[in-house]
A and B are shown apart, each in its own frame.
Chain A
Amino acid sequence: MNTKTKDHPELSELFNQDEQRVNWHDETLWWIRQKRDKSAHGIPEWETLREKASQIKNNALSNLADYLVSFEERALANGIIVHWAADAAEHNQIVHGILQKHGISKMVKSKSMLTEECHLNEYLEKQGLEVIDSDLGERIVQLAKEPPSHIVLPCIHKKKEEIGDLFHQHLGVEAGTSDPQILTEAARQHLRETFLTRKAALTGVNFAIAETGEFVVCTNEGNADMGAHLADVHIACMGIEKIIPKRKHLGVFLRLLARSATGQPVTTYSSHFKRPREGQEMHIVLVDNGRTVQMGREDFRASLKCIRCGACMNTCPVYRRSGGHSYSYAISGPIGAILAPNLDREKYADLPFASTLCGSCSNVCPVKIDIHQQLYKWRQVIVQEGYAASSKKMSMKLMNYTLSSPGIYRTAGKAGRLIMKYAPFAVNNQFNPWYKQRDMPEVPKQSFGEWYKKNVKSE
Chain B
Amino acid sequence: MKRVGLFIPCYVDQFYPNAGIATYQLLKKLGLDVTYPTGQTCCGQPMANSGFEHLTQGCNQLFVDNFSEFDYIVSPSGSCVLHIKEHLHTEKSEEQASGIRKKVYELVEFLVDVLKVKNLKAKFPHKVGLHQSCHGQRGLLLSQMSELVAPYYSKPQELLSQVEGLELINLKREDECCGFGGTFCVVEEAVSVKMGKDRVNDHLLNGAEYITGADMSCLMHMEGILKRGNSKVRVLHIAEILNAG
Binding site for B on A (CB under 8 A): 8-9, 12-13, 16, 19, 22, 26, 30, 37, 40-41, 43-44, 46-47, 315, 317-318, 321-322, 353-360, 362-364, 376, 379-380, 382-384, 388, 392, 396-397, 399-400, 402-406, 409, 413, 416-417, 433-434, 436-444, 446-453, 456
Is B115's beta carbon under 8 Å from chain A? no
Instruction: Report the nearest B residue to A438, measured CB to CB.
Output: B224
Chain B residue numbers with a CB within 8 Å of A416 are 14
Is B166's beta carbon under 8 Å from chain A? no
Beyond A318-B195, A404-B62, 9 additional contacts (C-beta under 8 Å) are: A47-B149, A322-B190, A356-B177, A356-B181, A388-B51, A448-B12, A448-B17, A449-B36, A452-B24
A29 to chain B, nearest CB (A): 12
Q: A441-B16, A448-B12 are in contact. Are A400 and B191 (CB under 8 A)?
A: no
Q: Are A453 and B38 in contact (CB under 8 A)?
A: yes
Q: Are B16 and A318 in contact (CB under 8 A)?
A: no
Instruction: Report the nearest B residue to A14, measured CB to CB.
Output: B190
Closest 4 pairs between A and B when the two form their complex, measured CB to CB: A356-B181, A404-B58, A438-B224, A383-B51
Instruction: Report the nearest A residue to B60, measured CB to CB.
Output: A404
Query: Size of chain B's interface in residues, with CB distance under 8 A?
Result: 71
B52 to chain A, nearest CB (A): 5
A39 to chain B, nearest CB (A): 10
The docked-state distance in angstroms from the alpha carbon of A41 to that of B175 is 17
Please classify the interface of chain B as helix (H, G, I), strand (E, B), loop, or mixed, using the class held by over half of its residues. Answer: helix
Contact of A441 among B20, B145, B148, B223 (CB under 8 A): B223
The docked-state distance in angstroms from the alpha carbon of A47 to that of B41 is 40
Chain A residue numbers with a CB within 8 Å of B47 are 396, 399-400, 403
Instruction: Report the nearest A residue to B35, measured CB to CB.
Output: A456
The docked-state distance in angstroms from the alpha carbon of A446 to that of B146 is 39
The docked-state distance in angstroms from the alpha carbon of A315 to that of B220 is 24
Q: A363-B147, A434-B185 are in contact. Are A400 and B55 (CB under 8 A)?
A: yes
Q: Are A403 and B59 in contact (CB under 8 A)?
A: yes
Task: Digitize B1-36: 1 where CB-to-A-CB distance is under 8 Å, 0 elsewhere.
Answer: 000000010101111111011001000000000001
B180 to chain A, nearest CB (A): 7
Chain A residue numbers with a CB within 8 Å of B191 are 9, 12, 16, 318, 321-322, 354
Chain A residue numbers with a CB within 8 Å of B224 are 434, 438-441
Q: Are B51 and A380 in contact (CB under 8 A)?
A: yes
Task: Digitize B211-245: 1 where CB-to-A-CB distance is under 8 Å, 0 elsewhere.
Answer: 00000000011011101100000000000000000
The docked-state distance in angstroms from the alpha carbon of A349 to that of B39 is 36
Q: Are B50 and A379 in contact (CB under 8 A)?
A: yes
Between A30, A41, A376, A452, the greatest number of chain B beta carbons within 10 A of the residue's beta carbon is seen for: A452
Q: Are A16 and B40 in contact (CB under 8 A)?
A: no
Q: A46-B149, A441-B224, A452-B24 are in contact. Are A9 and B138 (CB under 8 A)?
A: no
A393 to chain B, nearest CB (A): 8
Q: Are A360 and B177 in contact (CB under 8 A)?
A: yes
Instruction: Report the nearest A residue to B148, measured CB to CB.
Output: A363
Q: Are B148 and A47 in contact (CB under 8 A)?
A: yes
Q: Are A399 and B181 in contact (CB under 8 A)?
A: no
The docked-state distance in angstroms from the alpha carbon of A451 to that of B192 is 32
Is B194's beta carbon under 8 Å from chain A? yes
Q: Are B228 and A439 in contact (CB under 8 A)?
A: yes
Q: Are A358 and B52 in contact (CB under 8 A)?
A: no
B48 to chain A, nearest CB (A): 8
Contact of B186 among A383, A433, A452 (CB under 8 A): A433
The docked-state distance in angstroms from the alpha carbon of A396 to that of B55 is 8
Q: Are B225 and A447 in contact (CB under 8 A)?
A: no
Contact of B53 among A13, A26, A380 (CB under 8 A): A380
Q: A16-B191, A403-B58, A446-B17 are in contact. Are A438 and B36 (CB under 8 A)?
A: no
Is B207's beta carbon under 8 Å from chain A? no
Is B94's beta carbon under 8 Å from chain A? no
Chain B residue numbers with a CB within 8 Å of A41 are 149
The docked-state distance in angstroms from the alpha carbon of A364 to that of B146 is 9
Q: A357-B49, A434-B185 are in contact. Are A444 and B17 (CB under 8 A)?
A: yes
Contact of B138 among A360, A402, A409, A451 (CB under 8 A): A360
